[in-house]
């Protein structure tokens, strides 16, 4: 289920929550998005384990893969259950928790960068997990294509970037009702997060020379 921000949270924590919960350009984690309908989960990365129930027997069999480290171990755990036992997980908005968010700033972006570096590394261990994720691939290939256009056709890139930023603004309009300060801050902060996400994934992919070592992380 969802993990709502506590009502007594600081504005700094509300910024983090706004970035993560943004429906179109946020974290991509359904549990962070305040989604209000029941839904069968198809991608293990859509679940947040701060509000998650699973049978003890299932957890005892796999647990968390310590070789992955912090960031990605939860997604791998869910992937294994889906892959080996064809388990299905349901998102239920009525089962919610209040989860304190990390304060916005350096520590938040450092955490996000670490997560994406691990994602890049894990592509070598579980290519079917990440390459089958349409949102992940659209993000990775979209920015890569944009960078190619930047050097090949700068004017086209600037037009595309202007459209992208306009979408950031328009699709953040719902935050005006919550706090207009969030609406003002979201477009530039989401842009920064997207750059950090991309750089992290690329940094993880640069570990290709450790392919054999990374391949051993795979458990099925």
CA torsion 78-81-86-88 (nearest 10°) is -40
pLDDT at 62: 87
Q: Which of 38-52, 59-73, 85-99, 193-207 has the highest mean pLDDT?
A: 193-207
Are the C-beta atoms of residues 10 and 103 closer than 8 Å to each other?
Answer: yes
Model pTM greater than 0.85? yes
Q: Compute the average pLDDT of residues 36-53.
A: 89
Backbone Cα Rg of the chain: 18
pLDDT in tens, 47-70: 888 899 988 988 998 889 888 888
DSSP conformation class of 43: S
Q: Compute the average pLDDT of residues 98-108.
A: 93
* Of 28, 32, 36, residue with least CA distance to 135: 28
């Amino acid at each position: 289920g969802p993990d709502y921000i506590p009502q007594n949270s600081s504005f700094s924590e509300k910024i983090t929550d706004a970035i993560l919960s943004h429906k179109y350009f946020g974290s991509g984690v359904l549990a962070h998005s305040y989604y209000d309908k029941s839904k069968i989960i198809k991608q293990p990365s859509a679940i947040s384990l701060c509000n998650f129930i699973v049978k003890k027997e299932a957890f005892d069999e796999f647990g968390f893969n310590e070789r992955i480290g912090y960031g990605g171990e939860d997604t791998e755990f869910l992937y294994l259950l889906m892959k080996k036992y064809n388990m299905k997980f349901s998102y239920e908005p009525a089962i919610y928790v209040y989860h304190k968010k990390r304060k916005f700033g350096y520590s938040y972006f450092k955490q996000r960068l670490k997560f994406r570096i691990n994602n890049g590394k894990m592509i070598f261990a579980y290519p079917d997990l990440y390459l089958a994720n349409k949102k992940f691939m659209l993000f990775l290939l979209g920015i890569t294509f944009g960078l190619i256009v930047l050097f090949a056709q700068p004017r086209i890139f600037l037009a595309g970037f202007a459209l992208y930023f306009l979408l950031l603004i328009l699709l953040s309009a719902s935050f005006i009702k919550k706090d207009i300060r969030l609406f003002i801050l979201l477009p530039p902060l989401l842009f920064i997060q997207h750059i950090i996400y991309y750089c992290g994934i690329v940094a993880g992919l640069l570990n290709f020379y450790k392919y054999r070592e990374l391949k051993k992380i795979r458990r099925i």
